[in-house]
Structure 1
């Protein structure tokens, strides 16, 4: 085996989900599989520094976890059901401890795990937490930090969700073909929720949580490989890549938010833009339409504009119209009002915003207030803008957003 520095955390992040998915299929028990994989990584922590990194770390972890699971089932074999499980698992066969390992997790196992985590019987919060834990391999403490929640709250949520899977006998499987179309949107929604929380955090000290963006994009690539015939999967990956291409320019050296129009476009990630555009072209083939494709078109219009003044606002408004028809979301209409303001004049944008400002689904949201403040500022109506900025600052939950709005308030509050 090769020797050298071992980044066990990187291996954990890359291999935990794959090993867990494979073992869960064999055991039929997510909790038991998770325990076995954790024990396998503990074995790796003890043995790899001395013996070196295996040629195939994922296969080593999967095999070691299967040994651990089998040992536990044999110890509990006094219970008939457990004895049957031990016999069934033992039929698979194991290599000797020092034997070269070449077995690898099955890709379909991860797809089963993703659909199980996103089962409609589970709440949206549980779906996201389970996906980050069981598919991405994030530890409970990492999930808690990412969503600014107490670790015990996240731990309880995970425990309840896994118990519900077990007690309700939720199958670890990809839905049958006739159910796949209605279940895939929940999976995509979960992945996109992870990304959006990372891209623009709803609360806390920072507006960008890079680890969540990274995990969402990794999930998007995984889903593209597992569901190659689903154009909306490629559209979602395109959307995330195109938006994330601006990551390094979204904050100043001091950590302050930098709006899109003020960003240094030469610092955008051109590789991510090119990859996103390839996904977008592939997703749009054969006349496909869908909400993620419409959003990806908006992101592409921004990513390919050579400057802010050269942005194709007509294409963006058209994409928002398509998105509004697909989702009927009032927040989409709020964003459309901004795009309309740049295309047709800011008074036109304000008029469009007024038509949906009282929508019940926008009650309690700061989106209308902050958007109206921005449009008023751009329209030169500084006194009215200042009033709206004060309201927006008072309701902002994210510290960076609050500081950004305060700077804007200072600009108009002469």
Structure 2
């Protein structure tokens, strides 16, 4: 086997099982940093070993075994430094180990959810919870998380280290909390799963197609549907599952040119995912608690309904976005509401509805550019398209926006 093939096999194993393996490795002591270091060491050894010996029949089990051996080396070192018997250190470290640890990691589907709830513990700073979950459970590096949050890589890395030390120092248990505590932590867990999906929306040259089960979007879809299954009476868990399924239904494949939503052919959308999302949304709407994810799922359902009717109900979108801005006034929701206002009441009304303070918020510049073009203000629109292109992370979207700017200048 060649080195590239071995690397691809290791990357597939890491994508599929990163969160499960970190959760298993960290469960005995709560030491996330050691768990991540041990797994990183195992992946490096896989790249050296697998090209010569071939990929093992159970790649995840191989990685788990090697990583555990690395942990034991560290524990032995700790015993040496503290002059405590090795057996004492190992017994203490392993005292919370579950018998399930010996099972194939693929069979332990809830371990990632346990780790999500651990990272949502109220003892951890609220600003660190979602970034910590994105890294520890989903394997995103600090640079990508920092980019999604609009902060520096070093600042985000320090924030993550502090959160991991907090978990280890306070010995937060690696268990799913009771019903009351689980309800308190659920919003943070849902936010992290949505964050896992949201970071894929920017795309990138190496990003797997979002409908692929091996992609981050596929992982978010799995976690959302698993939460909805485990918590069938939580309308926001159902709403998140609906939101991701309906959004994922319209996801393009690898190498596809960027196509704005209004220009997409609904025949290309995934009918099964649409049906799945609509079913979750119906179940969520039967409850008497309305939340952000249910509203966002309803917005996606309106868009997806164009596959059936051939039209987009813009008035329904404006109503839903108005409710979303009232409930969760994020910049994204405010920009989307302004776009809907522009479609219904004219571009000048849409421009007036755009929020202030959006210097580096790419969707706001894209919406502004479109509305300016609709208003016939082509010079300003071209400049806004340039700004939107500069801020775009997806190469396909960046190229589309740059082409729009060039086209307006050529008028």
Structure 1 residue 301, shift from structure 2 partner: 1.4
| Paired position in structure 1 for 2:348 | 350
The 2-side partners of 1:110 and 1:276 are apart by: 23
Q: Counterpart in 1 of 2:320?
A: 319
The alignment partner of 1:26 has SS state of: coil
In the other structure, the counterpart of 2:235 is 231
Shift of residue 89, structure 1, vs aligned partner:
5.1
**Could you tell me whether the CA contact under 8 Å between 2:129 and 2:188 is conserved in 1?**
no
Matched, 1:53 2:56: yes
- Cα distance in 2 for partners of 1:331, 1:44 equals 42
**CA displacement, residues 36-69 of structure 1 (integer Å, 9 cap, x when unaligned):** 4445556666479748734x55455445544553
134-143 vs 294-303, greater mean Cα deviation: 134-143
Asked whether the 8 Å contact 1:294–1:319 carries over to 2, the reply is yes
Q: Aligned runs of 1:235-274 on 2, under 5 Å? A: 235-248=239-252, 255=257, 257-274=258-275
Deviation at 1:329, TM superposition (A): 3.5
Residue 303 (structure 1) aligns with: 304
Q: Cα RMSD between the aligned structures?
A: 4.3
Please tell me whether the aligned partners of residues 40 and 65 of structure 1 are also in contact (alpha carbons under 8 angstroms).
yes
SS of 1:310 mapped into structure 2: coil
Give 2:217's aligned residue. 213
Alignment of 1:174-193 (within 5 A): 174-193=176-195
Q: Alpha-carbon deviation of 1:302?
A: 1.2
Q: Distance in 2 between matches of 1:66 and 1:252?
A: 39
Asked if structure 1 preserves the Cα contact closer than 8 Å seen for 2:134 and 2:140, the reply is yes
- Partner SS state of residue 306, structure 1: helix
How far apart are 1:259 and its partner, in Å?
0.9
Residues 283-298 of structure 1 aligned to structure 2 (within 5 Å) = 283-298=284-299
Mapped to 2, the partners of 1:37 and 1:189 lie a distance apart of 26
Deviations 1:83-126, CA, capped at 9 Å, x for gaps: 5331245678999xxxxx645575453223113334563464x5
Q: Secondary structure at the match of 2:327?
A: helix
Aligned pair in 2 of structure 1 residues 321, 411: CA closer, same or farther (>3 Å)? Answer: same
**Could you tell me whether the CA contact under 8 Å between 2:28 and 2:94 is conserved in 1?**
no
Residue 371 in 1 paired to residue 375 in 2?
no
- Cα displacement (A) at 1:243: 1.7
> Aligned partners of 2:97 and 2:383: how far apart in 1?
67
Match of 1:335 in 2: 336
TM-score for the superposition, normalised by structure 1 = 0.74
- Following TM superposition, by how much is the alpha carbon of 1:135 offset from its aligned partner in structure 2, in angstroms? 1.3
In the TM superposition, what is the alpha-carbon distance from 1:182 to its structure 2 partner? 3.6
The 1:252/1:408 distance shift into structure 2, 3 A limit, reads farther
Relative distance call for 1:176 and 1:362 in structure 2 (3 A) is farther
Give the gaps of 5 or more residues in structure 1: 96-100
The match for 2:281 is 280
Structure 1's 376 and 221: CA in aligned 2 closer, same or farther, altered over 3 A? same
SS in 2 for 1:193: helix
Contact kept, 8 Å, 1:242 with 1:296, in 2: the verdict is yes
SS in 1 for 2:307: coil
Distance 1:284 1:119 in 2: 28
Partner of 2:380: 387
Deviation at residue 292 of structure 1 after TM alignment: 0.9
Shift of 1:198: 1.8
- Max radius of gyration: which structure? 1
The correspondence of residues 108-257 of structure 1 with structure 2, limited to 5 A, is: 108-119=110-121, 121-122=124-125, 124=127, 126-138=128-140, 158-167=160-169, 169-200=171-202, 210=210, 211-248=215-252, 255=257, 257=258
Determine whether 1:404 maps to 2:405: no
TM-score normalized by structure 2? 0.75
Q: 1:59 to 1:278 in 2, by over 3 A?
A: farther
Matched length: 390
1:286–1:130 Cα change, 3 Å = closer
Q: Secondary structure at the match of 1:194?
A: helix
1:77 alignment partner, one of 53, 76, 79: 79
> Over residues 127-146 of structure 1, what are the superposed CA-to-partner deviations in whole Å (9 max), with x where a residue is unaligned?
45533432124567887899
